[in-house]
Chains A and B, each alone.
Chain A
Amino acid sequence: DGGITQSPKYLFRKEGQNVTLSCEQNLNHDAMYWYRQDPGQGLRLIYYSQIVNDFQKGDIAEGYSVSREKKESFPLTVTSAQKNPTAFYLCASSIGAGQETQYFGPGTRLLVL
């Protein structure tokens, strides 16, 4: 089945540790996105990528990094510089980077130990 997968479902981070969230899609979409969701708030854009080997910062990129080496994969690293990483992280993709609809994965919940 075509879709977007995110792993793990839950992730625990220790202080000072970098962690990487996985996002894979088999929809042959060019554009991919990472959002952060906090309780009672909407989604906020962290990073997006319109094409392989290219990505741009969103509204809250500080403390995060990404890579886009393959069309189907867009991993997000939460670095130790992100002081408040506890949140629900959602990955999305769209056919292109125009006005197309974004489709979302199931999300990863990150908790700090």
Chain B
Amino acid sequence: AQKVTQAQTEISVVEKEDVTLDCVYETRDTTYYLFWYKQPPSGELVFLIRRNSFDEQNEISGRYSWNFQKSTSSFNFTITASQVVDSAVYFCALRDLDTGNQFYFGTGTSLTVIP
């Protein structure tokens, strides 16, 4: 079974619109970590955020915000007032005790922000 599901394959928005990227995960562990990475066209994955399973507080960093809900096993990512530079592929990842030292990545959501 897939541990991390990103159902949105591609999203296009017009600049300044808000956009939410969905991430649903699956784990039997009570202790786990969730991550979001950004992959711009250059290819390098850029770390955005890490959350542990005991901290459900939502987080905001500038135009970025994350909504962690254990009840629905979701860790969604919202970009407010999107910009062209936000165009990239975004990956959600899970690391839990079952996986040992492995990350499990979703298949990514390709975001295009149209000027």
Asked if residues B101 and A50 are in contact (CB atoms below 8 Å), the reply is yes
Query: Which of A40, A45, A56, A107 lies in contact with B103, CB distance below 8 A?
Result: A45
Asked if residues B91 and A97 are in contact (CB atoms below 8 Å), the reply is no
Q: What residues of chain A lie closer than 8 Å to B35, measured between beta carbons?
A: 101
Asked if A45 meets B44 with Cβ closer than 8 Å, knowing A99-B33, A99-B95, A101-B50, the reply is no
User: Is A63 at the interface (CB under 8 A from chain B)?
Assistant: no
Closest to A45 in B: B102
Closest to A106 in B: B44
Q: How far is the CA of A107 from the CA of B43 in the complex (A)?
A: 7
Asked if residues B103 and A106 are in contact (CB atoms below 8 Å), the reply is no
Q: How far is the CA of A44 from the CA of B107 in the complex (A)?
A: 10
Closest to B96 in A: A99
Quick one: CB contact mask for B95-115 with A, threshold 8 Å, 1 for yes? Answer: 100000111111110000000
Which residues of A are interface residues toward B (Cβ below 8 A)?
31, 40-45, 48, 50, 56, 58-59, 88, 90, 92, 97-99, 101-107, 109
10 tightest CB-CB pairs across the interface, nearest first? A42-B105, A104-B45, A107-B43, A106-B44, A43-B105, A97-B101, A42-B107, A99-B33, A101-B50, A45-B102
Which residues of B are interface residues toward A (Cβ below 8 A)?
4, 9, 33, 35, 37, 42-47, 50, 52, 91, 95, 101-108
Beyond A43-B105, A106-B43: 20 further Cβ-contacts under 8 Å? Answer: A31-B101, A40-B9, A42-B4, A42-B104, A42-B105, A43-B45, A43-B91, A43-B103, A45-B102, A45-B103, A48-B101, A58-B102, A88-B43, A90-B43, A90-B44, A90-B45, A99-B33, A99-B95, A101-B35, A102-B103
